[in-house]
Structure 1
Amino acid sequence: MRKRLSVVGATLLALVVSMVVFTVPAHAAAGFTVSGGRLLDANGNAFVMRGINHAHTWYPAQTGSFANIKATGANTVRVVLASGQRWTRNEASDVAGVIGLCRANRLICVLEAHDTTGYGEQAGAATLAQAVDYWISVQSALTGQERYVILNIGNEPYGNQNYQTWAADTATAIQRLRTAGFDHTIMVDAPNWGQDWTFTMRDNAATVFTADPDRNTVFSIHMYGVFDTAAEVTDYLGRFVSAGLPIVVGEFGDMHSDGNPDEDAIMATAQAQRIGYLGWSWSGNGGGVEYLDIVQNFNPASLSTWGQRLINGPDGIRATSVEASVYGGGTGSPTPTRTAGPTPTGSPAPSPTGGTAGCTATYTVGSQWSGGFQGDVKVSAGRAIDGWTVTWTFGSGQAVSNAWNATVTSSGSTVTAKNVSYNGKLSAGGSTSFGFLGSWTGSNPVPAVTCTAS
């Protein structure tokens, strides 16, 4: 088993530190970008990762795994590579081959250098600086692949010792990659074996994000035993969403040697908040954590209990994954998982656009199932504005259960949605959007909406 076993002796700290929120500057690039705390693909469509980790560097002959992972409905594969400090280095030709397999199977490729795992605690682990050296050395395989590849600098780059320099070292690594000409979206893992129980990544994420001259960095948390309650899951992910900082669950499982992660809360929260997740791992685990195999012996017909949960369970890959639009797939807004009857015939039309004092809003039912629905509201500015408030009144027993990209409150049937800190300021002709999950009884007509600017 070449994967680290656990976070040993970690005690979850109860720190209450507010994250800095800010407006994300626009950035033009050839591939993925980050806007308003969300990942957009090269066509400008929202992209929510629903995928699986695959240990390519230890099982290079298992090339059929890419097609098998795609067959689960996954839209992303996170591929383990080695930079040469602990495991046999993957050369540029192999990296190019991996990207080719991803593209042939219409998967977004998240490439990670695994040798950094547990640096400061794990003997022989690579530094983030060494990981950057590796990426620069194989840059020829990556240039021009920005539409299909996200670059995860280094897996779990610190253990539970000497992690205090994570923020500075991560910012430097990002800047070196940008100076070298990398235009890819960059993903960065948390310290503490990826689980950030010290909140080092959480509390320094805004600083690291602004250190990227392209503002094109995504943060990755690994959720194992530290995240064994729904409260811990929702609090951690919610702080990133509220701060307008992009976050994905880069690894998680249904069990672990350091505790029992709440996989149901992880998947439900990720679905409700449109956060990506990547289950660990396709096959080949050892050293006592074989239960993390999604399929046994690389056989796609032999799903483990964990694989069944991840792929076919509530909020799982098969029900929520949307293929990236660069491959001709959807817009990146997955349909929420529900065990329900058929969708009512006829999709509700968008609401009439309504607005006063500088902004308009359009309300659309994105998807609908028995007793529930996902609503989307687009806010457009007729002039430069500093903030907005959207209101509507439900007429048939609908209610909002949770929302993202806006602060939503209800008083009886009247709903008020206000901008959050990072999407209130709009230029003339600019727009933003927010979404919510709701319930309905009887019928689900589209209400008239009003937008007021400040």
Structure 2
Amino acid sequence: MRKPTLIAAIMGVVIMLGLAAYWKRPHTATGHEAGGLRVRGTAIVEGGGEPFVMRGISHPYAWHRERMAAFADIKRLGANTVRVVLTSDTVAQEVDTIVDRCRTSRLVCVLENHDTTGYGERAGAITLDRAADFWVGLAPTLRGTEDFVVVNLGNEPYGNGDTSGWARDTSAAIAKVRAAGVRHLIMADGPNWGQDWSKTMQSNAAGVLADDPHHNTVFSVHMYGVYDTAAKVTDYLDAFRAAGLPLVVGEFGRRHTDGPVAADAIMRAAGARGVGYLGWSWSGNSGGVEYLDAANGFDPDRLTDWGRSLFADIRATATEAATFRKASR
């Protein structure tokens, strides 16, 4: 091998530093990534127009902050997306680390603020307006990650009481986040603890999407006991499809406190329609709902029955985001 000249050696160092910088924040989107993840009709597409269908699971980071191996483990089992539970006390440095783990694990990263859960019915739940303030504070941290980060405004932002303010509050929160310069795909959860049995989100989604200055919001229904038959699952998915609106199943399990869930039907229907889904959840559930764990003790080699079923379908249907495939060429 010929000894490299000084100029060649310098160029080699420059190239290596450039490649290393690509995988570190800030990551400024260029070329095919300039648009980031966005909605197109009922679909989510990437910067180059490639369809992206979420296949993954939630990781309860906020309650198990030491479990950072979960990102690589979830990826190894075939997922292309991880939804990460945050709370309002999660600081920017933590989010920066989480985003880097998602990037290096080649996972699309859905970040969600969990403190809105059951607002109006659960003591201590915060409003979507306060959740928007959380995202405004993170705007500088998230800048340049639009190609693989999704902002989930607030988890299950209304309980089962009066949901009439959902559309107004969701649109106002989106407007506040957009005004702060957040250009990411936004995910908006439905009311009724996410299950939208009142059809409030279904009836108002078109207006909320139209109100988004970037027209880049995907809607998220959580499917638990309300969706105990295949017909209920398909009716809900098909209503969004008929309206030309983007939808994902942002949470589901095989059963919950409100009864059994048609989980197999959810996966089949989502697959047939190109709808993304995110199971709940990786591990660490407590308070009598430990059956929602996909992995025993955060161990990817000790999946539960629920975890085996979920990840079998994920492996069969997931495609890695094009942004990661292109970056590795």
Q: Please give the per-residue CA displacement for 1:96-120, whole angstroms capped at 9, x wherever unaligned.
A: 1000000000000000000000000
CA–CA distance in structure 2, aligned partners of residues 170 and 155 of structure 1: 12
- Out of 17, 32, 46, the residue aligned to residue 37 of structure 2 is 32
Using the TM superposition, give the Cα deviation of residue 242 of structure 1 relative to its aligned residue in structure 2, in angstroms: 1.3
Match of 2:62, SS state, is: coil
CA–CA distance in structure 1, aligned partners of residues 84 and 193 of structure 2: 18
Match of 2:97 in 1: 97
Match of 1:328, SS state, is: helix
CA–CA distance in structure 1, aligned partners of residues 279 and 229 of structure 2: 18
Using the TM superposition, give the Cα deviation of residue 303 of structure 1 relative to its aligned residue in structure 2, in angstroms: 0.5
Checking the alignment, whether the CA contact within 8 Å between 1:29 and 1:183 is kept in structure 2 is: no
Q: How does 1:206-245 map to 2 (within 5 A)?
A: 206-245=206-245
Whichever residue aligns with residue 74 of structure 2, its letter is I
Q: How does 1:67-146 map to 2 (within 5 A)?
A: 67-83=72-88, 89-146=89-146
Match of 1:322 in 2: 319
Match of 2:25 in 1: none
Match of 1:178 in 2: 178
Whichever residue aligns with residue 324 of structure 1, its letter is A
CA–CA distance in structure 1, aligned partners of residues 161 and 123 of structure 2: 12
- Out of 50, 75, 88, the residue aligned to residue 45 of structure 1 is 50
Checking the alignment, whether the CA contact within 8 Å between 2:57 and 2:278 is kept in structure 1 is: yes
CA–CA distance in structure 2, aligned partners of residues 139 and 297 of structure 1: 34
Q: Does 2:70 correspond to 1:65? A: yes
Match of 2:291, SS state, is: helix
Using the TM superposition, give the Cα deviation of residue 176 of structure 1 relative to its aligned residue in structure 2, in angstroms: 1.1
Q: Does 2:159 correspond to 1:159? A: yes
Runs of 4+ in 1 over 2 A off after TM superposition: none
Match of 1:421 in 2: none
Checking the alignment, whether the CA contact within 8 Å between 1:31 and 1:148 is kept in structure 2 is: yes
CA–CA distance in structure 2, aligned partners of residues 217 and 29 of structure 1: 17
Using the TM superposition, give the Cα deviation of residue 43 of structure 1 relative to its aligned residue in structure 2, in angstroms: 2.1
Using the TM superposition, give the Cα deviation of residue 30 of structure 1 relative to its aligned residue in structure 2, in angstroms: 3.1
Gaps of 5+ in 2: 1-32
Match of 1:79, SS state, is: strand
Gaps of 5+ in 1: 1-27, 84-88, 330-454
Aligned CA-pair RMSD = 1.2
Q: Select between 207-216 and 107-116 the one with higher mean Cα deviation.
A: 207-216
Checking the alignment, whether the CA contact within 8 Å between 1:175 and 1:213 is kept in structure 2 is: yes
What number of residue pairs does the alignment pair up? 295
Q: Please give the per-residue CA displacement for 1:324-374, whole angstroms capped at 9, x wherever unaligned.
A: 000017xxxxxxxxxxxxxxxxxxxxxxxxxxxxxxxxxxxxxxxxxxxxx
Match of 1:297 in 2: 297
CA–CA distance in structure 2, aligned partners of residues 184 and 244 of structure 1: 21
CA–CA distance in structure 2, aligned partners of residues 110 and 41 of structure 1: 15
Q: How does 1:225-374 map to 2 (within 5 A)?
A: 225-312=225-312, 316-328=313-325
Using the TM superposition, give the Cα deviation of residue 29 of structure 1 relative to its aligned residue in structure 2, in angstroms: 5.4
| Structure 2 CA distance for partners of 1:130 and 1:116, relative to 1, 3 Å | same
Checking the alignment, whether the CA contact within 8 Å between 1:92 and 1:139 is kept in structure 2 is: no
Q: TM-score, normalised by structure 2?
A: 0.88
Select the structure that is richer in helix. Answer: 2
Q: TM-score, normalised by structure 1?
A: 0.64
Match of 2:17 in 1: none
Using the TM superposition, give the Cα deviation of residue 262 of structure 1 relative to its aligned residue in structure 2, in angstroms: 0.2
What is the aligned-residue identity percentage? 55
Using the TM superposition, give the Cα deviation of residue 36 of structure 1 relative to its aligned residue in structure 2, in angstroms: 1.9
Match of 1:362 in 2: none
Select the structure that is richer in strand. Answer: 1
Match of 2:198 in 1: 198
Q: Please give the per-residue CA displacement for 1:413-439, whole angstroms capped at 9, x wherever unaligned.
A: xxxxxxxxxxxxxxxxxxxxxxxxxxx
Determine which structure has greater relative contact order: mean sequence separation of CA pairs < 8 Å that are 6+ residues apart, divided by chain length: 2
Match of 1:138, SS state, is: helix
Whichever residue aligns with residue 283 of structure 2, its letter is S
